A and B are shown apart, each in its own frame.
Chain A
């Protein structure tokens, strides 16, 4: 019964090793990032410039805002495959309710900008709620539910724009998506705000604790009297709303809204969260990890454009480097879990 405290960990060297092992999840992605930066720094003179740093920040913004919401979902050991399509839908909804130029052949309903924004956010929240309903009430796996939602959201996009491209968005959205203040793009500031709020919610609020506990051991959370379904519903709505904001700003950022606009971000945001070290099995990781993951992805995407490689080969290289980062990540996590064996 009595287990006198830690005679084997008295040596500082051992304690440091144990600490390092426990932090491998966070260290490995960071090392990956530094390695990538070092490589591109050497390989390309145009990579390590202030302008390019600003570029990278801007390039990761849209995926980054999505990744904030996705981090909540993955921490709960669930997955959202619909957020990119929901982002697309929100972007199209906000444009649909904005006055378009006369040559745009879409039968839209112009409304005041504020109303259009509220409707777009509401639309994404409703889609998130439908996800939540399927998961918690019907009992569908999130993988299947959000896969269906991906199609549904794409269908909404298709019906609204009917293959056309729309351009105009409310001024506020336009400013936040494409404008800048004092040389800093607004979209980067919005990303920073989302990351900060996401981090604060996950780390310092009761809800954030529930997210980690539900992800760490769902059954235990339920037996502790936590309303697990409510937490799961909340993270899916959070993910959808983050996607909605990302979608609106993305439309302004790229200057147009059209079908399948954000499909590529599905992989990018999931990869950013997981490469950053947040466990797909839930309960471990956080916004800090997602930030590192975003930079790994941003540096990779951006850096490959600065070196002389066959541009078709780049896609393959990108995939291979992502795979390597994931392998390092999983390996680091195994190291860690090896240090916590259940004593009996």
Chain B
């Protein structure tokens, strides 16, 4: 912990003392102390479920029931809502952006407090003000642009601007870089530098340790709901941070994500899914490839290159405009997702929210896709629970009680439940969209192991991701997508992240 006396000139902007919090019966935070100075960028790292998001939601007034004390500028506060927190100068930019895509940039910046003249919105003042605000942060964008037309990175910066503009002296950024391309990340860091210089404080949560280490002044590591250590950036490096997060040395994982990878696909596997000249709207066209049994096919491309739509078409959620899908020689016409499931095709979408039932117990979440096999007419809850317990053991889902409501599990464990659903069904083709997004190193390692095991058992796995590390860590063969087309295939060669980024 950095003692405040090291910086006698500046006091403490935010101080948390002995914070504890539990959900249902699951303890998320135990006796956590935390301190944030003015003009400080404070990096927060930890595995999924380590408690960092929970602490941030307490600070931002989202979670209002907890034990412990919270002091802002030396005054004890207790927020009843996110509104209270904002009034006290604390703003949060969530991982899922909360901008209004149909409104202009200016309207988004001024959301909820548009300047008026004689009861009408004063567009001129608003546009000029927004433009100035954004330029102060080094963001150059026409304030009349419709928000949804901008790239995601810019939208995020504009949301950040809105939070700062609303008077926040403490800004919490939850995984701000996970959806951004490298140039967008650099831009964000420039903006944050400006924010720091203006004396405001930033809490920066991320799984990307490089990002954390390049922008933070101070780094705090969480593990199992406790604050493990807080240290100045100058004194630490990535390996040390990973050790603190996991609690043991993990050089082997680190290696597989950064070094050069030798792809070795085995063309011996039979083709289980073939795609010919597939097209969908403006998202993608002329997409052709084959997925083979016992092989992990990686599809890499920047956000918005059409890979998300491709995954939906393969799973029968969207109907293609053109092209042919064949599975084991027979043409497939996927009317809906149920037809895809019957054809042996499964998808785990990038957002776990869209495939989980938060108010239902874990075992119902796991059994839902395989219900037709477990039970024809009458449900067999005992078998469902037994299957779920096996999956819980295999995937190390915590807590292991399958009757627990899914909503009481941590994010990483929820993601494992999403995977368990299809592992129970055993499809022939498993499509994983962003399988490791928002995951910590340890959980990513688990995913790698699971995917390799499935491949070795003869499943065809398709991994779709905008993170080069994810594709490199998992794939035996890599297709690169760019603006709706497949532009390159890597097979039986040695490539690195740079090589991948070069063609994308």
A9, B327: Cα distance in complex, Å = 50
Would you call A311 an interface residue if the criterion is a C-beta within 8 Å of the partner chain's C-beta atoms? Answer: no
* Closest beta carbon of chain A to B228's beta carbon, Å: 13
Closest to B56 in A: A344
| A residues in contact with B425, CB < 8 Å | 225
In the complex, per-residue mask of A185-218: 1 if CB is within 8 Å of any chain B CB, else 0: 0000000000000000000111011101100110
Would you call B101 an interface residue if the criterion is a C-beta within 8 Å of the partner chain's C-beta atoms? Answer: no
Q: Within residues 446 to 461 of chain B, which ones have a CB less than 8 A from any CB in chain A?
A: none
| B residues in contact with A223, CB < 8 Å | 315, 317, 337, 347, 349, 354-355
Residue pair B369, A4 in contact (C-beta under 8 Å): no
Q: Given contacts A339-B24, A342-B407, is CB(A1)–CB(B47) below 8 Å?
A: yes
A213, B49: Cα distance in complex, Å = 26
Would you call B282 an interface residue if the criterion is a C-beta within 8 Å of the partner chain's C-beta atoms? Answer: no
Residue pair B377, A205 in contact (C-beta under 8 Å): yes
Residue pair A343, B372 in contact (C-beta under 8 Å): no
| B residues in contact with A339, CB < 8 Å | 24
* Closest beta carbon of chain B to A216's beta carbon, Å: 5
Counting residue pairs across A and B whose Cβ atoms lie within 8 Å, the total is 151
Residue pair B356, A225 in contact (C-beta under 8 Å): no
Residues of B in contact (CB 8 Å), total 62
Closest to B398 in A: A3
Would you call B412 an interface residue if the criterion is a C-beta within 8 Å of the partner chain's C-beta atoms? Answer: yes
Would you call B156 an interface residue if the criterion is a C-beta within 8 Å of the partner chain's C-beta atoms? Answer: no
- Choose among A18, A219, A222, A224 the residue that contacts B24 (Cβ–Cβ < 8 A): A18
| A residues in contact with B347, CB < 8 Å | 223
Closest to A337 in B: B359
Residue pair A225, B346 in contact (C-beta under 8 Å): yes
Would you call A102 an interface residue if the criterion is a C-beta within 8 Å of the partner chain's C-beta atoms? Answer: no
- Choose among A5, A212, A343 the residue that contacts B410 (Cβ–Cβ < 8 A): A343
Would you call A8 an interface residue if the criterion is a C-beta within 8 Å of the partner chain's C-beta atoms? Answer: yes
- Choose among A5, A208, A220, A224 the residue that contacts B25 (Cβ–Cβ < 8 A): A5
Is the interface on chain A under 10, 10 to 19, 20 to 34, or 35 or more residues? 35 or more
| B residues in contact with A341, CB < 8 Å | 23, 63, 407
Residue pair A206, B22 in contact (C-beta under 8 Å): no
Residue pair A340, B358 in contact (C-beta under 8 Å): yes
Q: Within residues 384 to 408 of chain B, which ones have a CB less than 8 A from any CB in chain A?
A: 398-399, 401, 405, 407-408
A6, B408: Cα distance in complex, Å = 11
* Closest beta carbon of chain B to A228's beta carbon, Å: 8
- Choose among A8, A209, A220, A229 the residue that contacts B356 (Cβ–Cβ < 8 A): A220
Closest to A336 in B: B359
- Choose among A205, A216, A283 the residue that contacts B378 (Cβ–Cβ < 8 A): A205
| B residues in contact with A326, CB < 8 Å | none
A210, B369: Cα distance in complex, Å = 10
| B residues in contact with A226, CB < 8 Å | 337-338, 368-369
In the complex, per-residue mask of B358-385: 1 if CB is within 8 Å of any chain A CB, else 0: 1110001000110110011111000000
| A residues in contact with B24, CB < 8 Å | 6, 9, 18, 339-340
Residue pair B368, A6 in contact (C-beta under 8 Å): no
Q: Given contacts A229-B336, A283-B359, A344-B53, is CB(A209)–CB(B379) below 8 Å?
A: yes
Instruction: List 8 A–B pairs whose Cβ atoms lie within 8 Å, in order of A's numbering.
Output: A1-B48, A8-B22, A9-B24, A18-B24, A209-B371, A222-B317, A343-B411, A344-B54
Closest 9 CB pairs of A and B: A6-B25, A225-B341, A227-B338, A344-B53, A9-B25, A223-B355, A343-B23, A8-B22, A340-B407
- Which A residues fall within an 8 A CB radius of B? 1-9, 18, 204-206, 208-210, 212-213, 216-217, 219-230, 283-284, 339-344
Given contacts A205-B378, A224-B421, A225-B337, 13 further A-B contacts (CB under 8 A): A1-B412, A1-B440, A206-B379, A208-B379, A210-B371, A216-B357, A222-B337, A223-B315, A229-B336, A283-B357, A284-B359, A340-B24, A340-B408
